[in-house]
């Protein structure tokens, strides 16, 4: 079998597909029934059942390969492995399922949201349709599932073409059928009646040889979700404590017959271990205090959110909490293969192990050079059903994505300067000011842009050309521009919130990008409320009683990213989409220069 895994993956698509199918058949023949509750030769029944639990997280609608590589260590040294692409991802899931007849597939959130154009342009319907073809079981919703609001999230679950966003649903599939797997959100509660927005738990039963073993799944969204999405998108909801919610549900699952308990949570951490190591080395992050409070009856915690890959026997960290903790990185480049052995007499897990599997599909050439396929790890053929979904939507998206919008004088990147502003952020702030400066458009004098709203760098081609798909990758959320009047004191208070509001701290500041003509200084050695100084607008010091028209995204307008002061203001005027403003700026100013990052000064006064 090992020789089969290592050979023949460099050839044609048809040849690779034959090899992958042979690999699935061989794995099934060698491993099917391994450890399952089958009758023995003397009529007795074996005393355990083996379950394969397959986990992933933070897919973010990456239908096409994300041009990423993982490094593995071989006898000849480190090797880069090209990874990702949902057609290959589907085949990798099928190969893991083929190892035995008892399996479940779970996702730990952010399946959709902050997606590339191919998915986002169609409101992530393509991703849901592709995942439907993979026949997974449950997705614990993450913060990005709320990017377009909870009503649109329910549409993705249940289907239909009701319009909740600026973009039109059901552009290709009419009607859109919705997810054929369960969305879970145990700690996301409607404030009006205390009911969960989506089911809290899921059950899957495995029966063979007269024995049934039941898997209970608890799905959790990180409690900090309201600080990461537009407040209007989660209005009427509250997000409760993750550990307390899970612990309260375990007796209910036991009452339903659950022998195995899996917590699938969109919260995570990181380790210093390699992608294929099974070590808790350097484990840290927000998942740790949750684990410390979690009931030890939990067998597995499938996590996400941090985009880090790890497999960790948490019992090595705290013997009283013997969970298996996993995360499969990001963008469909990895799958976690979790093996659980259940004793059919005690109805409890007696052995568990996991590994992260690299989803190797096709070679690519990127910023790191050419990354070829390698025999160091298995490759997977493209699943034809998922590939058909991708091809259908690509045909509709490519003409729009390739449309030229203008030129840039150089690469516009999100890389922060010492002041924590960026060239790309300053450009977007300038574009939003340009779109709303006219009195009939709101009369804006200053633009504020949140760095989290910039999802990709903007790099022109050799001729300096920039295309629409690139702009879309930068700003995929479809926010509207909003202009309001603020006093100088309110603007200062909002800037102070960059360092002292919710998750915005001195240690982890969230510095807003500002438009040309505005400047200020901040000093993190000063106390709360005294860190901002020297505010100047168009050459004039900005005093507390000044009246300034400020443009921002609808996300910031509703207090997103903990900027609650920006939910204030008066004389509100709602304009067009942020993406349209960026495109208009390129058409008016090409070749667009790379803005200097000198609008904000960091340091002592």
pLDDT of residue 135: 98
- Per-residue pLDDT, averaged over 303-308, amounts to 96
User: Helices 125-134 & 86-97, crossing angle to 10 degrees?
Assistant: 20
pLDDT of residue 577: 86
**Residue whose C-alpha is closest to residue 279's, from 325, 319, 338:** 325
Q: pLDDT category, 420, cuts 50, 70, 90? A: very high
Q: Which residue has the tokens 């106390």?
A: 527
Radius of gyration of the chain (CA): 26
97, 54 contact by CB (below 8 A): yes
pLDDT of residue 42: 40
In the predicted model, what is the mean pLDDT of the chain? 91
CA dihedral 225, 226, 229, 234 (to 10 degrees): 110
Q: In angstroms, rounded to a whole number, what is the distance separating the alpha carbons of residues 139 and 179?
A: 10
- What is the 3-class SS of 3-71, one letter each residue? HHHHCCCCCCHHHHHHHHHHHHHHHHHHHCCCCCCCECCCCCECCEEEEEEEEECCCCCCCCCCCEEEE
Residue 39, pLDDT > 60, answer no
pLDDT of residue 388: 98
- Per-residue pLDDT, averaged over 171-199, amounts to 97
Task: Classify residue 209 as exposed, middle or buried by CB count within 10 Å of its CB (0-12, 13-18, 19+).
Answer: middle
pLDDT of residue 348: 96
Contacts 24+ apart (CB under 8 A), 412-416: 412/457, 412/458, 412/459, 412/592, 412/594, 413/457, 413/458, 413/459, 414/451, 414/454, 414/456, 414/457, 416/451, 416/511
pLDDT of residue 46: 67
pLDDT of residue 26: 38
pLDDT of residue 1: 30
Where is mean pLDDT largest: 145-149, 184-188, 559-563?
Answer: 184-188
Backbone dihedral angles phi then psi of residue 2, each to the nearest 5 degrees = -65, -40
- Per-residue pLDDT, averaged over 533-559, amounts to 96
pLDDT tens per residue, range 58-94: 999 999 999 999 999 999 999 999 999 999 999 999 9
Residue 174, pLDDT > 90, answer yes
pLDDT tens per residue, range 200-232: 999 999 998 899 999 999 999 999 998 788 788
Residue 35, pLDDT > 50, answer no
pLDDT of residue 447: 98
pLDDT tens per residue, range 233-270: 899 999 999 999 999 999 999 999 999 999 999 999 99
pLDDT tens per residue, range 120-155: 999 999 999 999 999 999 999 999 999 899 999 999
pLDDT tens per residue, range 269-295: 999 998 888 889 999 999 999 999 999
pLDDT of residue 278: 87
SS3 145: helix
């Amino acid at each position: 079998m090992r020789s089969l895994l290592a050979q023949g993956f460099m050839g044609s698509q048809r040849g690779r597909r034959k090899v992958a199918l042979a690999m699935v058949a061989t794995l099934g023949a060698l491993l099917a029934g391994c450890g399952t509750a089958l009758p023995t030769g003397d009529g007795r029944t074996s005393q355990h059942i083996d379950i394969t639990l397959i986990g992933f997280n933070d897919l973010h609608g990456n239908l096409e390969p994300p041009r990423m590589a993982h490094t593995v260590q071989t006898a000849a040294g480190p090797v880069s492995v090209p990874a990702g692409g949902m057609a290959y991802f589907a085949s990798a899931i099928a190969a893991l399922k083929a190892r035995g007849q008892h399996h479940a597939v779970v996702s730990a959130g952010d399946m959709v949201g902050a997606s590339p154009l191919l998915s986002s342009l169609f409101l992530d319907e393509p991703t849901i349709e592709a995942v439907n073809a993979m026949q997974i079981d449950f997705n614990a919703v993450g913060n990005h599932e709320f990017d377009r609001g909870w009503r649109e999230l329910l549409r993705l679950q249940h289907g239909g073409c009701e319009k909740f966003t600026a973009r039109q649903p059901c552009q290709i599939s009419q009607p859109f059928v919705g997810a054929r797997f369960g969305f879970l959100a145990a700690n996301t509660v409607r404030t009006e009646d205390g009911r969960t927005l989506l089911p809290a738990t899921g059950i899957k039963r495995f029966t063979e040889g007269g024995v049934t073993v039941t898997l209970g799944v608890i799905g959790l969204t990180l409690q900090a979700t309201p600080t990461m999405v537009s407040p209007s998108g989660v209005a009427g909801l509250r997000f409760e404590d993750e550990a307390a919610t899970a612990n309260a549900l375990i007796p209910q699952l036991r009452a339903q017959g659950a022998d195995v308990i899996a917590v699938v949570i969109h919260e995570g951490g990181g380790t210093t271990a390699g992608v294929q190591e099974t070590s808790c080395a350097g484990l840290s992050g927000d998942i740790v205090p949750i684990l410390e409070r979690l009931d030890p009856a939990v067998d597995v915690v499938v996590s996400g959110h941090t985009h880090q890959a790890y497999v960790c026997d948490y019992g090595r960290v705290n013997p009283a909490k013997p969970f298996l903790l996993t995360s499969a990185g990001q963008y469909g480049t990895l799958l976690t293969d979790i093996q659980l052995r259940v004793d059919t007499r005690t109805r409890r897990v007696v052995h568990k192990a996991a590994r992260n599997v690299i989803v190797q599909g096709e070679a690519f050439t990127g910023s790191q050079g050419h990354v070829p396929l390698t025999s160091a790890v298995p490759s997977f053929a493209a699943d034809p059903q998922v590939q058909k979904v991708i091809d259908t939507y690509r045909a509709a998206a490519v003409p729009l994505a390739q449309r030229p919008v203008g030129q840039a004088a150089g690469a516009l990147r999100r890389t922060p300067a010492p002041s924590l502003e960026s060239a790309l952020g300053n450009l977007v702030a300038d574009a939003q000011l340009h779109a709303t400066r006219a009195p009939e458009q709101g009369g804006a004098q200053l633009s504020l842009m949140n760095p989290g709203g910039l999802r990709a760098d903007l790099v022109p081609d050799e001729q300096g050309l920039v295309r629409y798909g690139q702009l879309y990758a930068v700003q995929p959320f479809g926010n509207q521009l909003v202009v309001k009047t603020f006093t100088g004191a309110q603007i200062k208070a909002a800037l102070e919130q960059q360092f002292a509001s919710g998750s915005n701290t001195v240690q982890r500041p969230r510095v807003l990008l500002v438009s040309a003509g505005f400047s200020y200084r901040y000093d993190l050695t000063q106390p709360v409320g005294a860190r901002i100084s020297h505010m100047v607008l168009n050459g004039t010091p900005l005093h507390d009683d000044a009246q300034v028209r400020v443009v921002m995204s609808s996300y910031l307008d509703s207090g997103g990213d903990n900027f609650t002061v920006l939910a204030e203001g008066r004389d509100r005027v709602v304009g067009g989409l942020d993406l349209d403003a960026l495109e208009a700026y390129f058409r008016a100013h090409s070749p667009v220069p790379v803005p200097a990052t000198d609008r904000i000064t960091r340091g002592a006064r």
